[in-house]
Amino acid sequence: MVITGYDEGFENYMDMMNETGFGFAQVWPLLTSGFLVMAVTVELMGMSIIAPASQCVVVSLYFWAVLADSYGRRWVLLVSTSLSTCVSLTSALMPTFPLFIAMRFCVGLFIAGPSFAAITYLAEFCTFYHRRITIIYMAMFQGIAMVYCPVMATLFIHQKWTYDLGFIVYKPWRFLMLLNSLPGLVGIFLLIGLPESPEILLCTQRKQKCINVVKWIYRVNKRKEMDWQVEPEDLSCPGYRIVDKQTCVELMNQGRPLFKKPYVVPFLSSCVVMSGLFFLGNGLGIWFTDLRNRRIDEDLESYTICANMRRFKEFYSELDGCQVTLKSFRDSMFLGATYLIMFNGVALLLRNVSPKIIVVALQILCFLLGGVLPWIAHETATSVIFIIFLAIPNCLIALVSGIVIEFTSADLRGKAVCLCILIGRSGMITGTFLVGYAMDANCELTYTLFGLYALGCSVVSVLLPGKWKCFRLIADQPELRARSMSVLRTRSMARPTQIYDTLIKK
């Protein structure tokens, strides 16, 4: 393994990509990645009651990341999504529960691929300026999935029809699993017509293919051929590049540069923030429907969310509390709709506001909402605050992932996002156990701790790199560093796009 710095070769590649503009060649990967993210969300929601399946997503994640950085994003997406969809469809036909569990475990192994590769694949079709906004729009499909799942469950889970197929009795829940596989099938269909990411082709020494893909992007967007005559030797990729065959141990150690300068501080701060976001959004979110169901409709407006939980425990047995109705899914639908609204709001803010400022500000808002949540007695206000409290961190997960993508070179990008998500999921596990063990013991204190955790993460978020720091982290050339600093000191350049254009021009 050798280190190659930012030089004229990578600057030539960036100039080529900037000439392609923004158009259908980015919208197509956006829709594809969106459906793949939707497939991951739907499958994870379907597997949420099966602990082993959730664990194997974590176990297999880094393996897929190494393959994605070594061989390509599209290959990993195509293989992992195809396998997970096939196994998911097969699991709906299992005649016994142990076989069903085993198949869902395999789904978890394969669905880990698109959970991180989709975002890196999309990012590498976009220029530096458009990257963050397109990632946010891709993450919106998570909100669509949050609406899709409960709507489908509401429509089919109560139906009584059955079909005897001989080896199994086909029931509505099996058909529901088929519907949950549809986003993955759509994503595979859209992915077949797309090329590999141009940047990973460049960094894996397939330079002529990289040039062909860039020309394809230009042709799709501009409806004409690119007239640039670029030779493969004119292009290069910065970062850590594999130059010979390596052992499995060495392949697994490819993430070590992330824990060294210049990446160590921004990467570790991103991991801490990501852990906090998973702690808040998913640690509490997994219990969301159950917590909202622990309430008594009578005199609902007169009690806080914690008081209603205590009343529910007093007056209902566990059997009485197990209710699957349209009302059980209503708040989940509202949560998904809130995701969509918030993702659109963040996308608008990104045009003029630094992502780091957005991350810090929204986490402070999350702290304030968490502080008042257990003390509000009005039912509607409680629902609104609870939903916004969960939507904020889940929206910021995509934004922090975009920051990680921007300050890492292409050959470290998949592993960086993967490790960040892995560490983030440790926060989710911690949050889940905290809710499970502490909520009944001291409900008010538990909600307060979640709010304080958001405040602590907002402090760490200050260490996240800004837009131009991200650019300079992968720009090792001394001349470019000097030029970037001089540009940032130029007060006459008020518009960010003007600064960006100056940075990338020769």
Can you give the pLDDT at residue 491?
A: 35
In whole angstroms, how large is the CA radius of gyration of the chain? Answer: 24
Give the pLDDT band (50/70/90) at residue 230.
Answer: confident
Is residue 320 exposed (0-12), middle (13-18) or buried (19+ Cβ within 10 Å)? exposed
Strand pairing of 239-241 and 2-4? antiparallel
> What would the pLDDT profile of 297-309 be if each residue is shown by its tens digit?
555 556 677 777 7
> What would the pLDDT profile of 389-406 be if each residue is shown by its tens digit?
888 888 888 888 888 888
pLDDT of 475 > 60? The answer is: no
Return the minimum-mean-pLDDT range out of 148-152, 342-346, 484-488.
Answer: 484-488
pTM of the model: 0.76
> What would the pLDDT profile of 249-282 be if each residue is shown by its tens digit?
555 566 677 887 778 888 889 889 988 888 888 7
Q: Angle between the 410-438 and 443-460 helix axes, to the nearest 10 degrees?
A: 160
Residues 6+ apart with CB under 8 A from 266: 403, 407, 463, 464, 465, 469, 470, 473
Q: In 157-296, where does DSSP find H-type helix?
A: 172-180, 182-192, 198-203, 207-222, 248-252, 264-278, 288-293
pLDDT of 410 > 80? The answer is: no
| Cis, peptide link before residue 496, omega less than 30° from 0 | no
Instruction: Identify the bridge partners of residue 163 per DSSP, sorted by sequence position.
Output: 170
Report which DSSP code applies to 4: E
Place of tokens 């076989």: 99
Residues 6+ apart with CB under 8 A from 41: 141, 142, 145, 146, 149
Distance of CA 307 to the CA centre of its chain: 35
Give the pLDDT band (50/70/90) at residue 383.
Answer: confident
Q: Determine the Cα–Cα distance for residues 91 and 420; give it in Å rounded to an integer.
A: 30
Length of the chain: 506
Please name the amino acid found at residue 102: A
Q: What percent of the chain has pLDDT over 70?
A: 75
Can you give the pLDDT at residue 32?
A: 93
Q: Is residue 10 within 8 Å of 117, Cβ to Cβ? A: no
